[in-house]
Amino acid sequence: MMFIRYAIYRFITMLLTLWVVSILIFVIINLPPGDYLSNQIAELRATGQAEGVAKAEFLRTEYALDRPIWEQYLIWVGMAPGPQGWYGMIQGNFGWSFEFDRPVSEVVGDALWLTVLVNLAAVLFVYMVALPLGVIAAAKSETWVDYTAAFVGYLGLATPNFLLALMLFYYGNKYFDLPIGGLMAPEFEGAPMSWEKVKSILVHLIVPTFVIGTSGAAAMMQRLRANMLDELSKPYVETARAKGLGPSKLLAKYPLRMAFNPFVADIGNLLPAMVSGSVLVSVVLGLQTIGPSLLTALKSQDQFLAGFVLMFVALLTLIGTMISDLLLVLLDPRIRYGARGG
Amino acid sequence: MRKLPDGRYVDETPWSDDQDLSALERSDMDAPNWVLVWRKFKRHKLGLISGIFLLLSYLMLPFAGFIAPYTPNERSAEYLYSPPQSINLWHEGSFIGPFVYPTEATADLVNYRWTYETDTSQPMPLKFFCESDSYNIFGVIPSNTHLFCAPEGATVFLWGSDRLGRDVFSRILYGAQLSLTVGLIGITVSFALGIFFGSIAGYFGGKTDWLINRVIEILRSLPELPLWLALSAAVPSNWGPVAVFFIISIILGILDWPGLARAVRSKFLSLREEEYVRAAEMMGAKPGRVIRRHLLPNFMSHLIASATLSIPAMILGETALSFLGLGLRAPAVSWGVMLNDAQNLASIEIYPWTAIPMLPIIFVVLAFNFLGDGLRASLDPYKS
């Protein structure tokens, strides 16, 4: 029961956070002077195309861009009636993309799921790599295993993601015949889900996952190693060794469990970095996630599209953080429910 | 001091009675904090080397124009995508000092690219302390003396030339001026914000603390890059390069402070209960003074170490933004702007040297990481 109450509490704080974030995002996307339509109108005026101006003016009133900024915000979120009545994000209307001349939900479409997929794959990759490597590096600390792991980790941290992506793509294609660009072979785009399509997506995921995950994996591996080393120097480990416990059991039974906590708690730090990385890598590699649409939207001041994409990535990280908090409570009985006491 | 075979140390100076071992004034025990830190830091070899490397890199910045044989936007239209040239010392068995072989470009109309042929029959010695295009030392003193330049009729592209025939080596040196300082300005902004918010949250507690803490949590839970992108998209495109540079560094700093503020806050929460803080308050010190004079000096060094660790993130951030075309823009030269040219697979395959700017990025980021680790490890001199 306590857990359910905590879960509800956590969910409500997430919603509140999301609300604050929506204000922040709205302010940011409205920072550039003017908007897509006013720019267009100015351009049309300058070139003397009067009929276009009327249409753009109509669109401006249609999307409430002529109202004060706070009213625009309320309409966008769906907390005030706009020209089409109560129809904002809360009601499931994500706005209109001026650049593509289609509703935002249609523009992003599949990209949402692919974004989630890419990030999930990257998170899985981080855990699958960091867990064994971190433990081994701690168990064999100050041997060549440790040093190699640290070296690779540092290199992963220091190489800019997008370059790693380009190089891996190039060499992966040259030596392992991995496909270049995109998240699936072109013939599957827009096709219904099938086994072949899934296979194609999986093959295309290899390089992006690796690229997005490397720096996260490196950081997490170092943290796990440090935690393990702390635990391994404690007297109870000595006792266990003295009593003749085998090396693998010695590691896994208690120290690993203790060192595991930050591992789950770290999702909160890991996810924002991952999402950042996936946006960048998607742009470079032309993955069909929402990264590229964010970039075009920002460059052309397509504010509803940009706003929605930013909201979506924020939501993604917030949900991830919430799940990690809940998992942490389930895993570690020492953590108390409810708000943190001072 | 001599080491015995069994590993013990023996002091060879004869025993004298004047030496009082229990004296408080022993310089090796009572050294000021920075000496202790330095002593320990010296043993952290990787950190030391990184520190020296970074120091040299930053000292080089004002003189980039002197070291570089070309100026950053100087075009050699005859030499587009020229491959790296080597500087040789020996020609057909005889020593003639540093020289280059002239190259000639021919258009390969089948593969549609330039191919270069090196004419190894005539060595052309480099000129030293020669006069060429003008630049400014420290950005103010005009000069046109270069450390070395290309001989007449030949080029010296140590790391090749790019799509417009500009020297990659020179551009990397000039790019360092922006790429390396972007992190410093960013960290200053983040430092100021982080210490300000962290200390008032930790010192006053209560509602202020709650509010600042929520802001920190929200900012930390957001992905940085999309926000950086959104903020830099808002920079008007008619601003000059210098203004853009400053605003980009500030943008990088604005999202980085929450981590620092959190560290400051948690430290303050425990330190504000100490007696000396109470004493200072009793004597009528204002909060500002208590924070600045009594609390902050306690862990300033730790803050500096952690700042060192977050500079690389900013350097990488600038690179990413410029790479995507939303950060610094040409004619400004930074490593990210240069990598913008290496954006596609073709350039990596055919002209791999256009991706060379990634090497200084990797080295600098690694160096900052090692330096930060070393500093952090040596800041507690009494811990073994």
Domains of chain A, residue spans: 29-107, 110-340
- Residue range A93-105: mean pLDDT, rounded: 80
Share of chain B above pLDDT 70, in %: 93
pLDDT for B176-213, tens place per residue?
888 888 888 999 999 899 999 988 888 888 888 888 88
Residue B361 in tokens: 């990025």
ipTM of the predicted structure? 0.78
Predicted TM-score (pTM) of the model is 0.81
Q: Is the pLDDT of residue B14 over 60?
A: yes
pLDDT for A258-290, tens place per residue?
777 777 777 777 888 888 888 888 888 778 788
- Residue range A23-37: mean pLDDT, rounded: 82
- Residue range B355-384: mean pLDDT, rounded: 81
Which of A163, A266, A312, A316 should one mutate to test binding to chain B, selecting the residue with the greatest count of B CBs within 10 A?
Answer: A163
Residues of A in contact with B236 (CB under 8 A): 32-33
* pLDDT confidence band for A176 (50 / 70 / 90): confident
By three-state DSSP, how is residue B73 classified? coil
Q: What mean pLDDT value characterizes chain B?
A: 81
Give residue A204's pLDDT.
82
Contact at CB, B222 and A154, closer than 8 angstroms:
no
Residues of A in contact with B227 (CB under 8 A): 28, 310
- Name the residue in chain B with its Cα closest to that of A25: B227
Q: Which residue has the tokens 């109560």?
A: A86
Q: Which is more confident, A285 or B17? A: A285
Domains of chain B, residue spans: 69-165, 170-379
Q: Is the pLDDT of residue B384 over 70?
A: no
Q: Which residue has the tokens 């730090």?
A: A269
Among A162, A169, A294, whose Cβ lies nearest the Cβ of B345? A169
Interatomic CA distance for residues B213 and A340, integer angstroms? 12
- Name the residue in chain A with its Cα closest to that of B359: A159
Which of B222, B252, B376 should one mutate to test binding to chain A, selecting the residue with the greatest count of A CBs within 10 A?
Answer: B222
pLDDT for A122-151, tens place per residue?
888 988 888 888 888 888 877 888 888 888
Residue closest to A266 by CA, chosen among A212, A335, A333, A219 = A219
Q: Are A252 and A258 in contact (CB under 8 A)?
A: no
Give residue B380's pLDDT.
65
Residues of B in contact with A318 (CB under 8 A): 221
Q: Is the pLDDT of residue B92 over 50?
A: yes
Q: Is the pLDDT of residue A87 over 80?
A: no
Give residue B13's pLDDT.
74
Task: Give A162→chain B minimum CA distance, Å.
Answer: 8
Interatomic CA distance for residues B186 and B164, integer angstroms? 31
pLDDT for A222-235, tens place per residue?
888 888 888 888 88
Contact at CB, A29 and B231, closer than 8 angstroms:
no
Residues of A in contact with B272 (CB under 8 A): none
The dihedral through the CA atoms of B374, B375, B376, B379 has a sign that is positive
DSSP string of B220-261? Answer: HTS-HHHHHHHHHHTS-TTS-HHHHHHHHHHHHHHTTHHHHH
Q: Is the pLDDT of residue B28 over 70?
A: no
Q: Is the pLDDT of residue A190 over 70?
A: no
Homologous superfamily (CATH) of B170-379 is MetI-like (1.10.3720.10)
Q: What mean pLDDT value characterizes chain A?
A: 80
Residues of A in contact with B320 (CB under 8 A): 160-162, 280
Residue A241 in tokens: 């060794």
Among B218, B224, B348, whose Cβ lies nearest the Cβ of A170? B348
- Residue range B49-69: mean pLDDT, rounded: 88
Give residue B304's pLDDT.
80
Give residue B193's pLDDT.
92
Contact at CB, A163 and B224, closer than 8 angstroms:
no
Contact at CB, A28 and B227, closer than 8 angstroms:
yes
Interatomic CA distance for residues B381 and B384, integer angstroms? 7
CATH of domain A110-340: 1.10.3720.10
* pLDDT confidence band for B104 (50 / 70 / 90): confident
pLDDT for B269-288, tens place per residue?
888 888 888 899 899 888 88
Residues of A in contact with B312 (CB under 8 A): 157-158
Residue closest to B337 by CA, chosen among B353, B350, B354, B351 = B354
Among A33, A180, A272, whose Cβ lies nearest the Cβ of B223? A272
Among B214, B320, B370, whose Cβ lies nearest the Cβ of A162? B320
Q: In DSSP terms, which residues pair with B143 in a beta bridge? A: B135
Q: Which is more confident, A5 or B300? A: A5
